[in-house]
Amino acid sequence: MQLSYKYRIYPTRSQAAMLGEMLRDFCALYNAALEERVDAYRKRGICLGYTHQAVELKAVRALGYGFEHWSFSAEQQVLRRLDKAFKAFFRRCKAGEKPGFPRFRARARYHAAEFRVGDGLTLRKTGWISIVGIPAEIKCIWHRNLPSEPTSAILTRQNGKWYVVFHVEVKEAAFASAATVGLDVGLTSLVALSTGETLPRPNFTKKAAKGLRKRSRALARCKTGSNKRRKTRLLKAKYETRIANKRRDHLHKLSRNLVRRFGGIGTENLSVKGLAKGIHAKHVNDASWAQLISMLAYKAAKAGGAVVKVDPRGTTRECPRCGHVAVKTLADRMHICDCGCVLDRDVASAMVIHHRAFSFKARNDLSRKWTEECLGALSKGSGSRLAPEAVCFN
């Protein structure tokens, strides 16, 4: 599996200016390639592809427009980036979705460039990197070692700070634990586990609303295009970055804790994008369910576990004990069934998710395979950290 490792870099003032110039040239190359594709189709009915534009790139570099100063492979990645945008556009057209034709990029919003490690970007001694076209080496804070040699890297600029993200291949660990759990995400409680635990939502956006409102009003009072507006916008962006960092740190710690305790995690296959467009969009975005499930997926795979997604329909209405389906409103926060089952609404839903993901009535091959591995680990009784009562198939 491939993982990303992010590091902070500290270029000097002259190096930062050169990096900014490089991104501006890459943005100009992207827009020129897009314009060429549009004109070729409108005037001649020709659909250009990456191969044709990559051949032209050599001639453009020879003309001396400034592109010859930067890495040729990095400029190829710019053309591949445009090619991916067009492929996604045609795919959405065929699927009947909203097409979203590729748009021209503004220089102020072009903040990333992709490199091949060893070609356009080279790792020097620990703590330093070099980039083609940038004088001298750039200092990098090496806060952790890479598990293997990186294949590619992305240079990115975020609120005036520079980072490099390395892509490395990591071997998946062997099957470590047969303990499983069902996980239900919500707004009242961020997550509820089938074990009966509930973890509250931190509400980072609500806590920071006053400061965000103050900075938004200050930005609205500034004159468009002025230096004060630019500085105020950066202050607002830094404040929003602090909120995002707190949220991401909390999700990292939560997902790591769950992966350490459970080898199998069952979740709902939610359409978070659709939920984020509804009446509770602000709270759904603050909860960041998609980000949490994504972290669980790659951390579980790295640790030898798995995340199983189940059909979310009816998980809230179904009784985890008898299976009876009862209609509930959002105001009903307790699950009360005639069979005598009285549970927190979210915990009951998590137990239903656990049953769908890991019970004998498995609905997909992955769940069935995981159940067999769980039973095998229990029957052998060796090399497993699982207590028999930890597996509950309901």
Does 384 have pLDDT greater than 90? no
Query: Annotated catalytic, 39?
Result: no
Residue tagged active-site, from 83, 114, 184, 286: 184
CATH architecture entry for 180-390 = 2-Layer Sandwich (3.30)
C-beta contacts of 101-105 below 8 A and 24+ residues apart: 102/34, 104/31, 104/34, 104/35, 105/27, 105/30, 105/31
pLDDT at 187: 87
CA distances from 87 to 106, 309, 320 (A): 21, 28, 44
Does 388 have pLDDT greater than 50? no
Q: Which of 20, 218, 229 is nearest to 112 (CA)?
A: 20
What is the rounded distance in angstroms from the CA atom of residue 86 to the CA atom of residue 37? Answer: 10
Query: Left if phi > 0, otherwise alpha if psi is -120 to 50, otherwise beta: which for 96?
Result: left
Residue scoring higher pLDDT (291 or 315) = 291
pLDDT at 372: 53
Sign of the torsion formed by the C-alpha atoms of 348, 349, 351 and 352: positive
As a whole number, mean pLDDT of residues 299-318 equals 86
pLDDT at 305: 85
pLDDT at 360: 39
pLDDT digits (tens, 9 = 90+) for 173-211: 765 567 888 899 988 889 999 888 899 899 898 899 999
Residue tagged active-site, from 75, 268, 286, 318: 268
As a whole number, mean pLDDT of residues 325-332 equals 79
pLDDT at 160: 86
pLDDT at 380: 46
The answer to which of 181-185, 334-338, 381-385 has the lowest mean pLDDT is 381-385
Query: Annotated catalytic, 268?
Result: yes
pLDDT at 376: 53
Q: For the residues of 168-208, what is the DSSP string, one character each? A: EE-PPPPP----EEEEEE-SSEEEEETTS-EEE---HHHHT
pLDDT at 175: 59
Q: Where are the domains of the chain?
A: 2-169, 180-390
pLDDT at 177: 67
Average pLDDT over the chain, rounded to an integer: 85
Does 260 have pLDDT greater than 50? yes
The answer to which of 248-257, 269-278, 340-349, 383-392 has the lowest mean pLDDT is 383-392
Residue tagged active-site, from 75, 83, 114, 346: 346
For residue 4, list its beta bridge partners: 167
Query: Annotated catalytic, 332?
Result: no
